Chain A
Amino acid sequence: MGWREWALRKSPWVFHLSTGSCNNCDIELIDCLTPRYDIERFGILLVGSIRHADILLVTGSVNRRSAPKIAALHAMAPRPCLVVACGTCACGQHMFKESYHTVEPLDAHVPVSVYIPGCPPKPEALIGGIVQAIGMIGRERADAPPRGPADAPAVPGAAGHG
C-alpha cells in the first residue's frame, strides 16, 4: 500500500448517486451525517462533485434515463473509485426488475465492490458497508471488471423488509 492509499483510508470522500430510487436509502445515507451516527468522525465527507469522490454510493434500480449517466460519472471519478450498492434496488433491482423503465442491474454498468441489502438498509448497515469499502482501498484494483453479487462479501446485520 502506497502513501496515497494510506491517506485515502483516513478520509474517504463519498458521492451519492440516485439512479431512480424511492428516497429511502438516500434519506438514510444523509441520516448517517446527522448527530446520532455522524460518519464525519471517520473522515467520511459527502461531496458535491464526483471529481472529489473516492467512494461512489449508488441507490436505486437503474432506469433508462439514469443508466447512460452511471458509467460516465464513474469514469469522471479519480482512481481508485470504489462503488457501493446501497439497498436492495441497487443490489438486485428489487420489485422493479420487471418494469419497462428498468434496464440491466448496477453491476452490469460499473464494477461494484460492496453490496448492502435492505429496504432500506439501516444506517448501521450503511456505515458497515462503507467501512468495508474503506478496508478494500489499496487491496484491490478498483477498476476490475464487473463481478456477480456472489463474489462480494455480504454485510452482517443488514436487515429490513424485502
Chain B
Amino acid sequence: MTERIIPIGPYHPLQEEPEFFRLHVEGERVLRLDIQLGYNHRGIEKLAESKSYDQIIFLVERICGICSTSHPFASVNAVENLIGVAIPERARAIRSAIGELERIHSHLLWLGLAGHFLGYNTVFMWAWKARETVLDIFESISGNRQNYAMFKVGGVRRDIRDDLAPGYLAALDRLRPTLDLFRKAVEDDPVIHARTKGVGVLTADDIRAFGAVGPTARASGVDVDVRRDDPYAAYDRVEWKVCLGSNGDIHDKIVVRLLEMDESLRIIRQCLGPLPPGEIDARVKGVPPGEGIGRHEAPRGEVFHYVRSDGTNRPARYKVRAPSFMNVATNVKAVVGGTISDAAIILAAVDPCYCCTERAVAVEHGTGRRLWGGDDLVRLSRDRTRRLREEMGRP
C-alpha cells in the first residue's frame, strides 16, 4: 500500500494557534508525524530586551492568551529571584488564587474542545458555559476577562476586595456539580472509555525521554509539579495534592485534569477565605546586575523564564520556555500506530494550544492528487464515536 501524507493546518477554525502537522499514513494506520512550528513566532524574547521590567510583564502576558497569568507569574518569579525580595503574604495568596482560577478556566476550555473532537458537542457547550463563571470572577477582579494584568515585580498590581471574596467562593461552589457531572461521565460512559482508554499511550519512559511536563507527564504517573517541588507564592502555605494517573492514555489525561480542577478549588478557598491582611506590594527599587530564573506550573506544565540583568532597567537577555514546546513533541510517539480517526483527539490531548485538524488535506502520491476537506478528520472521529454508541446500545 502506498504511503500518503496528510498535512494538518496551519489554519483551522477551532484552533487558537497555527501549527502544522504532517501525518504519514498507510491506509488507516499512522506511520510518522512531522511537526512544523513558527506560524506564531513574534520575536518576544528579542522584544523583551527593549522593554523595562514593568513593561515585560505586559509583553509576556501576550505570549499565550490561555496562560495569560502563567507567563507573568514565571516572569516575576525570575526577576524576584534575581533581586532576592520578600513578597508580602497577601500578594502571595492573591497570586496563587489567580493562578488556580486560570487553571480551572484553561482545563474547562480543553475539556470542551476534547468533547468537540470526540463528537460530544454538549460537553463543549457545557464546559464553556461553566468557564464563564471563572471569567466573570476575573472581570470583577481585574476588569478584563483575559489578560488580567495582575502581576508586578514585588507583588500584585491590584487588590482583591475582602467584601467581594465570599461572593467569588460561592460562585465557584456552584461550579462543583458541573465538574462532578463531567467526572462521572468520564468514569462511567463506556463509549468515552472505548475512545480514550489505551489510545495515544505515553509511558513514563517516553515522558522522561521527551522531557514532557504538566498533566501530560502526570497522566503517565511521572510525579512532577513545580508548585510542590519548588514552592513559590502561597503554594507551601495551603493544603493540596498532586493528581497522578497511571496509564498515560487519553482517559488518564482527562481524569488528571478533572481532579486538578478540584484541587484548584481547594487552593482558591484557602487563599481567599479570608485573604491574609497587609500590603500587596514590596515596592522594589531597581534591578541589580545578575541572573534569575522563575518557574510556574501553568495549566499545561512547567513554564520557565530566565532573565539576565546588566543593572539597567532593561534585561540583557530574556529567555522563555513554554510547556507546549516539550509536550507537542510527544505527539510524534503518541500518534504513531494509531488510526487516523484517533489522530484528532491524540493531537489535542496534550492541550497544545490547538492542533489543526479542521483544515486537513490528503495528498496521494503517484496516482495524482486527492483532496480531503478539513472537516473530514473530525468527521472520521465523530463517526467512530457514533458507531461505538450504536454498537453499545447507548443512543
Contact = CB atoms under 8 A, between A and B. Distances in A.
Interface string B148-170: 01000000000000000000000
A3 interface: no
B359 interface: yes
Contacts of B374: 48-49
A48 B59 contact: no
Given A23-B353, A34-B129, A119 B147 contact: yes
B178 interface: no
B17 interface: yes
A66 B19 CA distance: 11
A122 B143 CA distance: 11
Given A26-B65, A48-B12, A96-B42, A120 B47 contact: no
B42 A27 contact: no
Contacts of A66: 10, 18, 39
B145 A122 contact: yes
Looking at A28, A46, A119, the one whose CB has the most chain B CB atoms below 10 A away is: A119
A120 B146 contact: yes
Contact of B147 (A24, A36, A48, A61): A24
A22 B129 contact: no
A18 B10 CA distance: 9
Interface stretch (A4-12, A98-106, A132-140, A144-152): A98-106
B15 A99 contact: no
Interface string B1-20: 00000000011111111100
Instruction: Classify the interface of chain A: helix, strand, loop or mixed.
Output: loop
B168 to A, nearest CB: 18
Contact of A162 (B125, B132, B147): B147
Contact of B128 (A34, A73, A102, A122): A34
B366 interface: no
Contacts of B282: none
A158 to B, nearest CB: 12
Interface in A108-151: 119-120, 122
A25 interface: yes
Given A48-B13, A98-B47, A20 B147 contact: no
A101 B42 contact: yes
B43 interface: yes
A36 B10 CA distance: 29
A69 B20 CA distance: 14
A27 B146 contact: yes
**For chain A, which range describes its interface: under 10, 10 to 19, 20 to 34, or 35 or more residues?**
35 or more
B173 interface: no
A66 B47 CA distance: 19
A16 interface: yes
B46 interface: yes
B17 A23 contact: yes
Contacts of A101: 41-43
B144 A160 contact: yes
Contacts of B66: 23-24, 27
Contacts of A73: 11
Interface string B217-245: 00000000000000000000000000000
B310 interface: no
B147 A63 contact: no
Nearest to A24: B65
Nearest to A18: B18
B64 A20 contact: no
A46 B13 contact: yes
Interface string B21-39: 0000000000000000011
B319 interface: no
Contacts of A17: 11
B58 interface: yes
A31 to B, nearest CB: 7
A69 B353 CA distance: 21
Given A23-B16, A27-B16, A36-B132, A102 B11 contact: no
13 contacts: A22-B63, A23-B65, A26-B16, A27-B65, A28-B146, A35-B128, A49-B359, A63-B42, A95-B59, A95-B62, A101-B43, A122-B145, A161-B149
Interface of A: 15-18, 20-28, 30-31, 34-36, 46-49, 60-61, 63, 65-66, 69, 73, 94-96, 98-102, 119-120, 122, 160-162
